[in-house]
Structure 1
Amino acid sequence: ELGSIDPQMVYAEEKQVKRFSVYNIIKSYEELFSSAVKEKGNLQPYLQQLSNYDAREIAEFRSALSLSEDIAVKALKTGMLSGLSEKEIKKKIKDFLTPEKVK
């Protein structure tokens, strides 16, 4: 069975373990960045929020998402979906690549 395959970011904060979907971290960064670019007035609130993100980490997270998709496709191609092309497999597993679709 294939469940959600998006990587997770795990860290401890105040003696609590927190998990976040890498997909959601990237999505929130991109939405915030896009809003900042469209803003015609005061950018300061956006800059404050964007300062919580590290562009290098976002790049790493994008690589992790791509790698998880690649691993899933290759694993499925050697098993239950061996008769399909990589493009067909990606289409079939699209809903498992983002947490939005798996809810």
Structure 2
Amino acid sequence: MIERIFGDGKYKFHIGYDEAVEWERKRRKGLYPTMVALLAGDWQVADVTEVVRVAMIGGGSDPVEAFEISDRYVRQRPLIESMQLAIDVLELAYFGTSEGDAT
């Protein structure tokens, strides 16, 4: 789990097994291809938004709150502002660490 200042506060982000299954059900693609696409610059807009939303839920945020926060600070802001967070969350899910863990 990582904790980051995001939007209007400090939030926890985590993608575990249950969140990965939710991602695959909703997006109809795996998390790993999503991470590869984000790293390669070949991503879809919803990839960034949904990684943040699902990771907030995995970090303990209420699903409604996660939707509202991701809507306000991902959908209504330049996507590049949330890209690194999405990448860090996916690296943590796969490798157990993220280069951005220290922040």
Global fold match (TM > 0.5): no
Q: Calculate the TM-score normalised by the size of structure 1.
A: 0.29
Q: Calculate the TM-score normalised by the size of structure 2.
A: 0.29
Structure number with larger C-alpha Rg: 1
